[in-house]
Amino acid sequence: MTSTSMAERKARLEGLSARRVGFYVGEAVVWALLIAMAVIEIAPIMWMFSTSLRNPGESFELPPDFLPTAWRWDNYLAVIRSEKIDFPLFFWNSLKIALIVTASQLLTCSLAAFAFARLRFAGRDTLFFLFLASMMVPAQVTTVPVFIIIRSLHLMDTHWALILPGMTSAFGVFLLRQFFLTLPEDLMDAAKIDGAGFFRIFWRIMLPLVGPGLSALGIFTFLGSWNNFYGPLLFLRSWDKLTFPLALVTLQGYMGMGNRAHVLAGIMMSIFPVLLFFLLAQRFVIRGIALTGLKA
């Protein structure tokens, strides 16, 4: 082996080593940034959880301690048994409304999205443009018309006043339409040749393939309905009809002088259904991605 070939081999090995070191350094930097962002995201939640386990007087100490001196797990039990709110009833009211609204949006938005994406009819694109234009109108602008409609239908102080306006959304139609457009045309053509109608094509073929879109829309819809405060404040009056966000405000007491640990314990319990729904929907997102496409 000549000295020239040995020098070239040595230079090549040094170049590979330098690239490998650069790769590891870059990967370490990426991991460091991800960990830092994760800490920033989770720190407020951990602080809220820590404060929910404190004694009432420790909530306002300066400088604050991250960990409580006494772990008061009975704060959660105190919220459930509180005389200020009917925790099981309000929790069930919010859960019922959120589940019905989510299921309704998944059905209505998927049907409309399939029609806008795959069916051909006169004025389809114009109608879809007008449909999307409604997304540019703030919800506060439509509050008065919606209130008048709900009152005309004699639905004031009922949960239907919150369910009916949320049964469909322009955002949900737009999101699912984009998913339907990514599916191959060959699927519909093959189904038509086999004699399948439009509804059967939608229900048996197309809908299972947009699982990631359905899961994403379900998460957004459930979260928005569960955290809805403005709607219940506007339409609900009876104590037995109130939802959980209104209960948390009631738990704060007059001028916000209620037990801060109890309030944060209630907020932590309000996170559990959303977290559980997200974990369940995430599984369908992954499965939908894995099953999307044509089989050879």
- Whole-number Å distance between alpha carbons of 231 and 228: 6
- Whole-number Å distance between alpha carbons of 279 and 260: 29
DSSP notation for 160-191: HHHHGGGS--HHHHHHHHHHHHTS-HHHHHHH
Using one digit for the tens of pLDDT, what is the confidence trace for 124-145? 889 999 888 888 888 888 889 9
Instruction: Look at residue 125 in the predicted model and tell me its pLDDT.
Output: 87
Using one digit for the tens of pLDDT, what is the confidence trace for 255-270? 666 677 888 888 888 8
Query: 């899961």: which residue's tokens?
Result: 215
Structure pTM?
A: 0.80
CB contact set of 97 (below 8 Å; sequence gap of 6+):
159, 162, 163, 225, 228, 243
Question: Residue ranges of the alpha helices (H) in 119-229?
Answer: 124-133, 143-152, 160-163, 170-181, 185-193, 198-200, 207-209, 211-226
Instruction: Look at residue 294 in the predicted model and tell me its pLDDT.
Output: 40
Instruction: Look at residue 99 in the predicted model and tell me its pLDDT.
Output: 94
Instruction: Look at residue 64 in the predicted model and tell me its pLDDT.
Output: 67
pLDDT along the chain (296 residues), means of 10: 58 60 75 89 85 76 71 84 83 93 95 91 88 85 91 93 92 91 86 84 87 87 91 90 87 71 85 82 61 42
Answer whether 105's CB lies under 8 Å from 169's CB: yes
Q: What is the DSSP letter of 65?
A: P
Nearest 5°: CA angle at 166, between 161 and 169? Answer: 150
Instruction: Look at residue 292 in the predicted model and tell me its pLDDT.
Output: 44
